[in-house]
Amino acid sequence: MSAPADLVVVSSPLQCMNAVEHRARTGGLADVVLIGDRAGGGAAALDVLKRRPGLWRRILSHPRRPQPSRLLPLFARDLLDAGHRASLERLASTLGPRRTLVFGDYRNVSQRVMVERVPHDELVLVDDGSVAPQVAAARAGRPQAADAARFQPGWFRTGLGRSALGERPPAAPPALTFFTIYGTLMEGVLAPSDRVVAHAYEAWRTGEREIARGDAVWTLGSNHVEAGICSEEAYRSLVLGGVAALRGEGRSGPFLYRPHRGENAARAARLAAEAGMTLAPAGPPVELAFLDADPRPSVAMVIASTAADTLSVIDPGLEIVRLAPPEGYLRRQRDHILAVMEGHDAFNRRLRVIRPQASSPA
């Protein structure tokens, strides 16, 4: 009797890209459970998986965690979450034991249900961005782990929901393999039961042809406004200042604004127009857009984006610029965002930090 296919549980386009990398190295067909992405990247995630159809036996889809109106009473929202959890548990009960279970987001309570409910021999976490070293630190009980409670997700918002519906928070997995580009940042940080398998996007880069580098500057957008991390004016000022700073260095462009998938489309369009940037259409993850680009950009500018790290691995010659937010920019998730930016600086020693003044790009 043949061994069961491995199982991959992912949500975002980047998680799918990293799952492809893992499966290309591991070999053998895998089943996929694609859980809806909270930032609306489901179609892009599926497109990433379909780029390598030979890796998958079947792809199953499950809706994302409910996102009802904030006007709905908290206990009613708990009831919706209980239904979502029950649906995931029913799906998990049909999937049987697996040799390897690969998942994409340690913080995602929906994915953690699958991790708990599907028996497996080995558990692998692919990168969901630069949060991976924070996960490793939190699992090791390191005091510097930013906001460690974020890695212990729960379901319900009310005491009534927790008691009546049964909170059952997911237990920390006893052992975890990190399939990651961040191995150097995890040295000396791992829990004794955890290990690292490093990669550098070898599968995605295989057969890559020589492509010239042009003069384009890619500004990689963020959903900081939508997430309440900063005000719209603070974000606008920082991006405009960054564009002005690069133009002041003699960068002629063209300048391209690539919005985050969770960014408001109308707001992104206004900002791009004000800064004199071309607005990139919605599409694949920026890493795949970069691999597809001809010519390649000369600079990628970010605030706090995993792409600062992934693009530096895919193309070590690409100049990466990080915009340093001014004091008062961060209204929420301060520790997390600061940890992400510190991680960028530690991971890529060639990264250049600029501190633009509030400015118009004119």
> Model confidence at 33, in pLDDT bands (50, 70, 90)?
very high
Is a pLDDT exceeding 70 seen at residue 316?
Answer: yes
Residue 44, pLDDT score: 86
In this structure, what CATH number is given to the domain that contains residue 148? 3.40.50
d(CA 30, CA 55): 6
**Residue 240 and residue 312 in one domain:** yes
Give the chain's domain count: 2
d(CA 284, CA 83): 31
Using the 3D structure, point to which of 172, 205, 238 is the last residue of a domain.
Answer: 205
**Residue 188 and residue 239 in one domain:** no
Collapsing DSSP states into helix, strand and coil, what is residue 134?
Answer: helix
Domain-embedded: residue 361: no
Is a pLDDT exceeding 90 seen at residue 88?
Answer: yes
Is a pLDDT exceeding 90 seen at residue 343?
Answer: no
| Mean pLDDT within 332-343 | 87
| Bond before 295 cis per omega within 30 degrees | yes
Residue 28 tokens read as: 């053998």
Is a pLDDT exceeding 70 seen at residue 196?
Answer: yes
**Average pLDDT across the chain, whole number:** 91
Domain-embedded: residue 90: yes
Radius of gyration in angstroms for the set of CA atoms belonging to the chain, rounded to a whole number: 21
Main-chain phi, psi angles of 284, to 5 degrees: -70, 170
% of the chain surpassing 90 pLDDT: 74
Q: Measuring CA to CA, which residue among 315, 313, 326 is closest to residue 354?
A: 326
Contact yes or no for 62/95 (Cβ under 8 A): no
Using the 3D structure, point to which of 155, 174, 205 is the last residue of a domain.
Answer: 205
Domain-embedded: residue 359: no
Using the 3D structure, point to which of 205, 238, 259 is the last residue of a domain.
Answer: 205
> Model confidence at 339, in pLDDT bands (50, 70, 90)?
confident
> What residues contact residue 108 under an 8 Å CB cut-off, 6+ apart?
11, 35, 128, 153
Is a pLDDT exceeding 90 seen at residue 177?
Answer: yes
**Residue 235 and residue 191 in one domain:** no
- Range of lowest pLDDT (59-63, 68-72, 216-220, 336-340): 336-340
**Residue 201 and residue 250 in one domain:** no
> What residues contact residue 35 under an 8 Å CB cut-off, 6+ apart?
9, 10, 11, 61, 62, 63, 64, 88, 108, 110, 111, 114
Q: Which domain holds residue 109?
A: 6-205
**Residue 40 and residue 189 in one domain:** yes
Is a pLDDT exceeding 80 seen at residue 42?
Answer: no
